[in-house]
Structure 1
Amino acid sequence: MPVKPRETSPTSRGVRVSAALAVVPLLRLAVVRHAVPVGSPWRAGCAGCAAPIGLDRPWPALSPVARCGRCGTRVGAPPGVVEAAVVAAVAAVILIGAPPLPTVALLWWLGWVVPATLVDLAVHRLPDRLTYPAAAGTWTLLGLAAVTGAGAAPWLRATAAGLVLALSFAATTLLLGRRGFGLGDAKLALGVGLLLGWYGWSALVVGMLLAFGFSALVSLALLAARRATWSTHLPFGPHLTLATLTTLLLLPH
């Protein structure tokens, strides 16, 4: 019999959202640094005045206005986008209501994947510096959940699912080249497989069906609006991220 999610008080939910918003400057900084074309060095300063990027002046907390504190040049994700993504991610985690350690694993994954997804939307790349820590920390935290009571079976299944999904995505790159998924998608898929595989192979299948379904809907909408052609390459990372959260929301915990 499925265990119902534990109810949380409005105060507890408010604390979680406030804590998440406290890390927004770090997430915005990650987007600013990594949202550069493939082959370019990571961004170290403002494109307008070369002011160094950091959490201190002239980038006071990398505020939601998304402008350099010295010259006013627009930088990073558009205003409010990171904040909205964080609030939506935390709301999803609260609604999922998983046990404590799997919840921590999901929060860890989202902490890296939210900026990675925004980078993918901006420049069509998923940096290793974001996808590798996301998967490694998720695997470790799920392993801790296994040791402290969940048992080895879900962790071993999650490990296998992550590897199978990542290798499947990487195989399309080797076989199809530019027509396949990028290696960044494969590295993101490693964490996706871990999170969904923890709950079963059926969760992984549902997640992939949703990801491809979301991708198809967006592609058709862009084609209808004449914002893309049949040969346009669209980032797949956002669909993977959204499909993962949607699948977890649909599962009993």
Structure 2
Amino acid sequence: MALTGPPTVAGPTAPKLAARGTPLLAALALAPALRLAAIRHAVPPGVAVRTGCDGCGAPIGLARPWPALGPTARCGRCGARVGPPPGTVEFAVVAAVGALVLLGPPAPVLAATAWWLAWAIPLVFVDAAVRRLPDRLTWPAAGGTWLLLGLAAVAGAGPGPWLRATAAGVALALFFASTTLLLGRRGFGLGDAKLALGVGALLGWYGWAVPVAGLVCALLLAGAVGVALLATRRVGWRSDLPFGPFLVLGALAALLLL
């Protein structure tokens, strides 16, 4: 009698592994452009855009992306750090791809979510660095998300979710804008209101409760971080925290809790 071992379980084939890794590689290929967007727009008010290294003035662009636009984030001429900390943009891209995989929305909605994430990543780094949410990033994020959700409606979802998404985006933006008008500097900035247009539209597609959940998550995250920073004396009671990163993280949390 021939002796046989336990049956073998076939592992993923090379084509399947390649297919799974293709979206991640494609997203990582966009990382230099996202890092460049953060570098360009993380400037004080009144300054148009950053075009070169602050240390030596060496030009920074996609024509010669390395090493300034790579994970090391170092100027190729003087070695100074350029833009967001090393590896952070790339980590954000990997996290965004992971979120898309976990969400698994239909293709048209997937396109809208991916579009919004592609703009949200540099917005997070810009707001964290200089407490600004530039129009050049917030308007394309909101407009593209709205249009792609419209295509999802035409593709079969129907007008209901798209109309709700539009109303939710406007409502959330008006909420943020009203705090600025009523409270001045103690309220949220108008940049947050413009960011909220896209956030509200994306979350509103899934129902009215989702943008509310996203806002609550953002406020809780901001509160927790604020308390931690106060406890470690890194900020004072009158210090302002950029809210854009928390709004983006709150939106992702609400989507993942669906």
Aligned to 2:143: 136
Report the residue type matching 1:213 in the other structure.
Answer: L
Report the residue type matching 1:223 in the other structure.
Answer: L
Aligned pair 1:241/2:248, yes or no?
yes
Aligned pair 1:49/2:75, yes or no?
no
Decide whether the 8 Å contact of 1:55 with 1:61 is kept in 2: no
Aligned pair 1:64/2:67, yes or no?
no
Aligned to 2:103: 96
RMSD: 1.3
Aligned to 2:189: 182
- Structure 1 stretch 53-62 or stretch 113-122: which is displaced more? 53-62
Following superposition, the deviation at residue 63 of structure 1 comes to: 1.4
Q: How many residues align?
A: 243
- Per-residue displacement from partner, 1:26-67 (whole Å, max 9, x unpaired)? 001001111111222211111122122211337557111111
Aligned to 2:6: none
Report the residue type matching 1:154 in the other structure.
Answer: P
Question: Superposed, which structure 2 residues align to 1:9-24 within 5 Å?
Answer: 11-24=18-31
- Per-residue displacement from partner, 1:199-219 (whole Å, max 9, x unpaired)? 010111111111111111111
TM superposition score normalised by structure 1? 0.93
Following superposition, the deviation at residue 91 of structure 1 comes to: 0.4
Decide whether the 8 Å contact of 1:161 with 1:201 is kept in 2: yes
Aligned to 2:9: none
Distance 1:37 1:12, change over 3 A: same
Decide whether the 8 Å contact of 2:67 with 2:73 is kept in 1: no
Separation (CA, whole Å) in 2 of partners of 1:78 and 1:178: 29
Tell me the secondary structure at the aligned position of residue 62 of structure 1.
Answer: coil
Aligned to 1:209: 216
Separation (CA, whole Å) in 1 of partners of 2:216 and 2:62: 40
Larger radius of gyration: 2
Separation (CA, whole Å) in 2 of partners of 1:172 and 1:109: 24
Separation (CA, whole Å) in 2 of partners of 1:117 and 1:248: 18
Separation (CA, whole Å) in 2 of partners of 1:64 and 1:96: 27
Question: Superposed, which structure 2 residues align to 1:102-141 within 5 Å?
Answer: 102-141=109-148
Separation (CA, whole Å) in 1 of partners of 2:119 and 2:30: 11
Aligned pair 1:221/2:228, yes or no?
yes
- Structure 1 stretch 31-40 or stretch 147-156: which is displaced more? 31-40
Decide whether the 8 Å contact of 1:13 with 1:94 is kept in 2: no
- Structure 1 stretch 242-251 or stretch 144-153: which is displaced more? 242-251
183, 191, 206: which is aligned to 1:199?
206
Report the residue type matching 2:53 in the other structure.
Answer: C
Following superposition, the deviation at residue 11 of structure 1 comes to: 4.2
Aligned-pair identity in percent equals: 65
TM superposition score normalised by structure 2? 0.91
Question: Superposed, which structure 2 residues align to 1:65-84 within 5 Å?
Answer: 65-84=72-91
Structure 1 segments unaligned to the other structure (5+ residues): 1-8
Aligned pair 1:167/2:184, yes or no?
no
Tell me the secondary structure at the aligned position of residue 221 of structure 1.
Answer: helix
Following superposition, the deviation at residue 157 of structure 1 comes to: 0.3
Separation (CA, whole Å) in 1 of partners of 2:251 and 2:37: 22
Aligned to 1:157: 164
